[in-house]
Amino acid sequence: MISKYFHLEELGTTVKQEIIAGATTFITMAYIIVVNPKILEAAGMPFEASMAATIFSAFFGTLAMGVYAKRPFAIAPYMGENAFVAYTVVKVLGYSWQTALGAIFISGVIFTILTIFNIRSWLANAVPENLRIAFAVGIGLFLTFIGLNDTGIVKIGVEGAPVHVGNFRNVKVLLGIFSFLFISILMIKKINGAILIGIITTTILGIIFGQLSLPEKFISSPPNIS
């Protein structure tokens, strides 16, 4: 029944292959469950609620993509816009995170309408390729700078200089450097779930070296996201 509904035989695949592929995709993307709410927390959003919202949006988005659109694509919050909302819209421009979420909802409705009338793809193709590449690189550098600052590898706000080198004797800084190198090696080796493995390993080391504390409980009901 499943094979017939998704035309798996026609596409040259099987249910087993698709389950393995789905599990691999989940492991690769699972870091978003932690990283997205951590970034949004900088804007004042409750960590637990934003984590629950991240999980729900990824679940229902991916479910709709698979069941309705019949496409093997996983949908989850995009790393880049969350940092823009937290650090630019809220912290720099001074809007509340509630107002920012309202603007995101309105933009989502607009994009849905543009998609229905096949306008979105036309607009996307109208953007020159070099600009599309520059957007991705710029967002990546922005996220890199945020990560370097949060780990203490660099510090901002120095008089006469935009940044300066952090204290490399600090355990937090050393853990940040280790995490970057460890994840880089795993990705070079093309190990599935490299980012998630790196996050879990660094978290364990952070607990061992006293930088993090164990949670009071490991299982709980979803928090109120209203």
pTM confidence score: 0.72
DSSP 100-158: HHHHHHHHHHHHHHHHHTT-HHHHHHHS-HHHHHHHHHHHHHHHHHHHHHHHTSEEEEE
Euclidean distance between CA atoms 15 and 17, whole angstroms: 6
Can you give the pLDDT at residue 166?
Answer: 85
- Concatenated DSSP letters of 213-226: ---S-S--PPPP--
pLDDT, averaged per 10 consecutive residues of the chain (226 residues), comes to 81 85 82 89 91 92 89 86 90 94 93 87 86 87 84 78 84 92 93 85 91 79 70
Cβ-based neighbour number of residue 89 at 10 Å: 19
Which pLDDT score, from 0 to 100, does residue 41 have?
92
Q: Which helix (H) or strand (E) holds 165?
A: strand 161-165
